[in-house]
Structure 1
């Protein structure tokens, strides 16, 4: 027995309306759990973007003046190369700095339009032999005030503490979202079981007249899918506002130079929202599959 889309949609909507309060509770639970997971992902992306320049053990950055002369640049490079206290270093020229700038401010084209590579300072990203904060500070201070040097910025314990706190907060978001996703799966399962039991007599009649297993199951599975997708829509909207008003606001108002790149690009936000939708579909499929295979004697 074939099933029409209109029939499946009508049956699913009727089941949802019959258990409207449980349906609303399920949608809210799915939405909140996905929002927490989305917040976890966006927060981690923001921290990763902000601390990208400090990866690989980089402890301080020597910023050169954009108009530093070749002689001034060579003097700093020579001092870095000859220092026995420096294990490794990377030179970021103005073109590379401009590429980083465009990547960080991809969502602010008005800034990219007014900035050119010659306005950005080149820099030396330095990895000391000894990561001790006092040693790093003493080493970095040697470059402050040198001709052609604009500034020396230290990661030190600050950036490490930021990363530790980010890991803790991220873990809370992640565990909370997993617990709520488990609860959402159980709610979808419960909603479908109630719908199945309330229509037990109709289901038996359908079997008698020759309805196939899938003819009976699809409306219930569609019901679970609708609940999951409705929660995902709410979570996607919430993560958009989270990024627009919290994450970007923090980046713009932060006085920490260490966090001037704390932002999430539009492509990262888009991929995060796609992930939330995929998780919602997965939760709905799991809950629906368990319900129709275990509680629907078709």
Structure 2
């Protein structure tokens, strides 16, 4: 199609929007409200997923090395643990360093144990996948030289169940919300096109091809989707940055954190703009199709 024809289609689509501005505003409003809800929900789901992942990644196994083993033997045990399947990270901490940590956490009174340190040399182990923590802990427990292997048995399995359930619910709700968005926006666009049925019939009667009729409406749907996405993008950008900076200090000492605005907004803006444009174009194409056959 010639550039001149495309320019005419673009001009016609903008002119048509202005001529039918009240219907266009209604369609833009529907897109705006729906995409704003979608944006809020996506932000919540991404943060829930981030928090769940942080909790999973914080899971580690604490191995108390037998007090009968000297440091040389303890380091040999460390190498054995590193070679086990599904082990991603092993960190050795001597009993002296463990005592320093306890004193820092609970006060100088515990420094009395400097003379006779009752603690164990310790290994902190992380599995390659959080769900394999229990299996790795069982392998370590079978090695000689371990007094105890701690990983929150029973509780960790419950945590993983909660995380998996939360993710599943989030995915289901996301799909449902997107389908509702498609339904609401496309139906609003259908109403705007239905109100211009006679305009389409006249274009067909004077010899316009289906594509010639369809393309301006698809472009108009694109403009409606794009304009409807602008307010949600601005609102989410300002709102999320504000919420992030207000809530982040409250959890700075916790094992989890929220998704940084730069990371979330880049994805969110792309999703909202693409959703608005795709639904606008698709809704217009589907809506105008039924009026292309003049009886």
Same fold (TM > 0.5)? yes
Residues 35 and 272 of structure 2 are in contact (CA less than 8 Å); yes or no, is this contact kept in structure 1? no
TM-score normalized by the length of structure 2 = 0.60
Aligned mate of 1:264, from 260, 267, 280: 260
Residues 44 and 170 of structure 1 are in contact (CA less than 8 Å); yes or no, is this contact kept in structure 2? yes
Residues 159 and 258 of structure 1 are in contact (CA less than 8 Å); yes or no, is this contact kept in structure 2? no
Residue number in structure 1 paired with 2:183: 186
SS in 2 for 1:297: coil
Closer, same or farther in 2 for the Cα pair 1:165/1:200, shift >3 Å? same
Residue number in structure 1 paired with 2:237: 240
Specify which structure has the bigger relative contact order, considering alpha-carbon pairs within 8 angstroms and separated by 6 or more residues. Answer: 1
TM-score normalized by the length of structure 1 = 0.60
Give per-residue Cα distances to partners, 1:231-264, cap 9 Å, x unaligned.
43344345435643445654432276432x5433
Q: Aligned-residue CA RMSD in angstroms? A: 4.2
Residue number in structure 1 paired with 2:61: 60
Cα distance in 2 between the residues matched to 1:240 and 1:92: 40
Tell me how far 1:163 sits from its aligned partner: 5.0
Residues 196 and 295 of structure 1 are in contact (CA less than 8 Å); yes or no, is this contact kept in structure 2? no
Closer, same or farther in 2 for the Cα pair 1:30/1:82, shift >3 Å? closer
Residues 251 and 262 of structure 1 are in contact (CA less than 8 Å); yes or no, is this contact kept in structure 2? yes
Residue number in structure 1 paired with 2:15: 10
Residue number in structure 1 paired with 2:286: 290
Give per-residue Cα distances to partners, 1:26-81, cap 9 Å, x unaligned.
43123312432343234324543x24744xxx53368xxxxxxxx97x67644544
Cα distance in 2 between the residues matched to 1:262 and 1:156: 27
Residues 42 and 268 of structure 2 are in contact (CA less than 8 Å); yes or no, is this contact kept in structure 1? no
SS in 2 for 1:263: coil
Residue number in structure 2 paired with 1:205: 202
Q: After superposing the two structures, state which structure 1 stretch, 204-213 or 235-244, moved more.
A: 235-244
Residues 91 and 125 of structure 1 are in contact (CA less than 8 Å); yes or no, is this contact kept in structure 2? yes
1:221 correspondence with 2:224: no
- In structure 2, stretches of 5+ residues that fail to align are 64-69, 93-122, 128-132, 142-146
Residues 190 and 284 of structure 2 are in contact (CA less than 8 Å); yes or no, is this contact kept in structure 1? no
Cα distance in 2 between the residues matched to 1:15 and 1:184: 23
Tell me how far 1:11 sits from its aligned partner: 0.6
Tell me how far 1:22 sits from its aligned partner: 5.2
1:175 correspondence with 2:175: no
Cα distance in 2 between the residues matched to 1:253 and 1:168: 26
Q: Count the aligned residue pairs.
A: 239
